[in-house]
Amino acid sequence: MAGIPIAALDSPELKKIITKNKVGVLFDPFDPKDIADKINYLIENNKTLKEMRNNALRVAKSKYNWEVYSKKLISVTIP
C-alpha cells in the first residue's frame, strides 16, 4: 500500500507475484553481490523504479488487500 518496490529472494511463490505484477526484483539470498546489484538497480533506474511503484500501488489497491481477501475468506468459511 506504500508503493514501495519489492526486493525479495528468488523463490517460486514470490517470483510468481513479483514477476506477474512487475513490482520488484528477485535476488539470490546466498549471493551478497546479487542482493546489492538488485537494490542498486532499483536505486539507479528512476523510470523502472517509478513504474514498479505505480504497479505496487495498483495491485495493492485492487488485489492484495484485506477487502479482497476478506471476501475470499468469508466465501470459504460460510457455506
C-alpha grid cell for residue 53?
Answer: 511503484
**Torsion sign over Cα 35, 40, 45, 46:** positive
Average pLDDT, integer, range 5-29: 95
pLDDT at 14: 94
Helix/strand/coil for 18: helix
Asked if pLDDT for residue 77 goes beyond 70, the answer is no
Amino acid at 57: L
Asked if pLDDT for residue 38 goes beyond 90, the answer is yes
Average pLDDT, integer, range 48-62: 92
Asked if pLDDT for residue 79 goes beyond 70, the answer is no
pLDDT at 58: 92
Q: What percent of the chain has pLDDT over 90?
A: 70
pTM higher than the cut 0.95: no
